[in-house]
């Protein structure tokens, strides 16, 4: 707690699913001007949503089907769970727009997987797992 701040201070921040939506939108709009900036943030969210963020959810009844669908790969399951949470968070009109954005940015030719750090194929699998979670939520 910051010295002198009231003990009941509440700071509102966007949830990780909301941040993922914002980062994908931002990447699509400005990746040519600011390469790697938004893709790095999105990659970090995708890679960490399973462990440590939602490890317990993946090993309980709620997330177990996703973990099984991901071949027990916690990182891929986390990306799927993130997609599922995005699907539940967005109202139908916004989901339609996001679905179009997701289709455009997760194609093999969009460059998103290439813009992320590390192995391109691993990045593409992570992005595909996210897309699957959005399209086939738990």
Select from 131, 15, 120 the least CA-distant residue to 69.
131
For residue 49, being part of any structural domain is answered with yes
Confidence of residue 8 (pLDDT cuts 50, 70, 90): confident
| Residue 84 is assigned to a structural domain of this protein | yes
Q: Which is more confident, 35 or 1?
A: 35
Per-residue pLDDT, averaged over 58-80, amounts to 92
pLDDT at 62 over 90: no
In a domain, 1, yes or no: no
- The Cα–Cα gap between 80 and 84 comes to 6
What pLDDT is attached to residue 113? Answer: 93
**Predicted pLDDT of residue 61:** 72
CB-facing half-sphere around the CA of 83: CA atoms within 13 A: 25
Place of tokens 């709009």: 29
The total number of structural domains that make up the chain:
1
Q: Which residue would you say has higher pLDDT here, 75 or 7?
A: 75
Domain assignment present for residue 83? The answer is yes
Q: For 16-47, what is each residue's pLDDT tens digit? A: 999 999 999 999 999 999 989 999 999 999 99
pLDDT score for 109: 78
> Is residue 112 assigned to a domain?
yes
Domain carrying residue 30: 16-135
User: Rounded to an integer, what distance in angstroms lies between the CA atom of residue 93 and that of residue 97?
Assistant: 7
CA dist 106 and 134 (Å) reads 12
What are the φ/ψ torsions at residue 31 (nearest 5 degrees)? -65, -25
pLDDT of residue 134: 94
Average pLDDT over residues 75-83: 97
Q: Is residue 3 part of a domain?
A: no
pTM score of the predicted model = 0.89
Ordered DSSP codes for the chain: --TT--TT-------HHHHHHHHHHHHHHHTTTSTTHHHHHHHHHHHHIIIIITHHHHTSTTTHHHHHHTTT-HHHHHHHHHHHHHHHHS-HHHHHHHHHHHHHHSSTTSSHHHHSSS-HHHHHHHHHHHHHHHHS--
d(CA 79, CA 101): 17
Note the pLDDT tens digit of each residue in 83-134: 999 999 999 999 989 988 888 888 777 899 999 999 999 999 999 999 999 9
């Amino acid at each position: 707690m910051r010295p002198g701040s009231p003990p009941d201070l509440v700071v509102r921040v966007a949830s990780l699913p909301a941040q993922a939506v914002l980062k994908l939108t931002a990447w699509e709009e400005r990746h040519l001007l600011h390469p790697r900036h938004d893709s790095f943030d999105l990659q970090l969210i995708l890679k960490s949503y399973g462990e440590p963020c939602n490890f317990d959810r993946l090993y309980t009844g709620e997330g177990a089907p996703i973990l099984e669908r991901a071949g027990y790969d916690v990182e891929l399951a986390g990306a799927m769970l993130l997609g599922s949470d995005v699907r539940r968070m967005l109202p139908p009109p916004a989901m339609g727009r996001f679905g179009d954005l997701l289709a455009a940015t997760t194609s093999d030719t969009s460059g998103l997987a290439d813009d992320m750090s590390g192995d391109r194929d691993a990045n593409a699998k992570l992005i595909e797992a996210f897309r699957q979670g959005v399209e086939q939520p738990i």
